[in-house]
Amino acid sequence: PGSRQLLRELYPHTGRARIVGVTGNPGCGKSTLVDALVRGYRKAERRVGVVAVDPSSPFSGGAILGDRIRMQRHAVDPGVFIRSLATRGHLGGISRSTDDVVSVLDAMGFDVVIVETVGVGQAEVEIVETAHLAIVVVVPGLGDEVQAMKAGILEVADLLCVNKADRPGAERAVQDLQQMLTLRTDSRPPPPILETVAVSGKGVEELRAALDARLEAGAGSGLWQEWQERRARRRVEELLRESLTRRALGRMPEQELGARIARVARRELDPFTLAEELAGLAPSTDGVRG
């Protein structure tokens, strides 16, 4: 409660941070890589915020544990702020809460905000889209690449990172990705593919340099306004969805709603009619025969 008002007041102070999405399958080395990127940014004397989103976990327990482990490394550094979010089950979805946290970090003056998400479904594609640029992390071994392709994640990648390049098959993975990139439907130039070994830091500075080059090129051009507008639109739409859903569901007493949903489940009523009724677009289904 009250967060909305605070976020409203913060809003004019946002809009400066470079927002970077990092996504990939569990275990591909995202946290290790983000950690290495953070170290690089700190060496360059830039302040970094990290939002680690786990869309699959409704519990904050795991997230807090993850926070602790990572925070230890940067515990005494005021130039780093790391926050984990376990967002499943929140009305308003992952993007809303993530965007709010990103906003706070932006207002706090962090130069770069990294949004790290597990790449397992549609949710992370959305989160990646809220960032200015997205890094998609894959590991050697064809399975991951196919998986990435399936999730449509390659479509949103601005940079591709083959992490665990110390493992056999890295070169092959790069080739596979190059092959798959030829299937991209959009007209943007293909994303560069970089190899990293996050555990040793090998290739991470090169990745950061490629990332920064793109971020700064964007920030210094008409792209920046485009990025800001994309985020602004998403936020408005997300808030709208949330408030309209809340309002529509609030129109009907819970018991009545439950009864209607039971009818949908029994196929006595179709979900389209009920949704339209709740949205105020269709007359009440009271008279519909069961």
Binding string to ligand GDP for residues 56 to 85, with x set by CB under 6 A, is what?
A: ------------------------------
Q: Which one, 204 or 269, has the nearer CB to ligand GDP?
A: 204
Binding string to ligand GDP for residues 124 to 163, with x set by CB under 6 A, is what?
A: ---------------------------------------x
* CA distances in angstroms from 42 to 35, 59, 205, listed in the order given: 11, 31, 12
Residue 202: DSSP 8-state = B
In whole angstroms, how close is the CB of 203 to ligand GDP at the nearest point? 9
* Closest residue to ligand GDP, based on beta-carbon distance: 29
Interface with ligand GDP in residues 20-49 (CB under 6 A)? 24, 26-32
Select the residue interacting with ligand GDP from 111, 155, 166, 242 (CB under 6 A): 166
Q: Which one, 31 or 87, has the nearer CB to ligand GDP?
A: 31
Spatial CB neighbours of 177, under 8 Å, sequence gap ≥ 6:
138, 145, 154, 160, 162, 193
Interface with ligand GDP in residues 104-123 (CB under 6 A)? none
Query: Counting contacts by CB under 6 A, is residue 167 touching ligand GDP?
Result: yes
Q: Which one, 31 or 84, has the nearer CB to ligand GDP?
A: 31
Please say whether the beta carbons of 31 and 52 come within 8 A. Answer: yes
From CA 273, how far away is CA 106, in angstroms rounded?
42
What residues does 51 pair with on adjacent strands?
83, 115
* CA distances in angstroms from 100 to 16, 115, 230, 240, listed in the order given: 15, 12, 15, 15
In whole angstroms, how close is the CB of 164 to ligand GDP at the nearest point? 4
In whole angstroms, how close is the CB of 118 to ligand GDP at the nearest point? 7
In whole angstroms, how close is the CB of 72 to ligand GDP at the nearest point? 15
Spatial CB neighbours of 94, under 8 Å, sequence gap ≥ 6:
53, 55, 85, 87, 88, 123, 126, 127
In whole angstroms, how close is the CB of 125 to ligand GDP at the nearest point? 17
Looking only at the bridges linking them, the beta strands covering 80-86 and 159-162 are: unpaired
From CA 191, how far away is CA 214, in angstroms rounded?
11
What are the DSSP calls for 18-33, one per residue?
EEEEEEESTTSSHHHH
Q: Which one, 39 or 164, has the nearer CB to ligand GDP?
A: 164
Alpha helices by DSSP H, 17-92: 30-43, 60-74
Binding string to ligand GDP for residues 193 to 212, with x set by CB under 6 A, is what?
A: ----xxx-------------
3-state secondary structure of 278: helix
Select the residue interacting with ligand GDP from 39, 70, 164, 231 (CB under 6 A): 164
Q: Which one, 122 or 200, has the nearer CB to ligand GDP?
A: 200
Residue 91: DSSP 8-state = T
Q: Which one, 28 or 80, has the nearer CB to ligand GDP?
A: 28
What residues line the site for ligand GDP (CB under 6 A)? 24, 26-32, 163-164, 166-167, 197-199
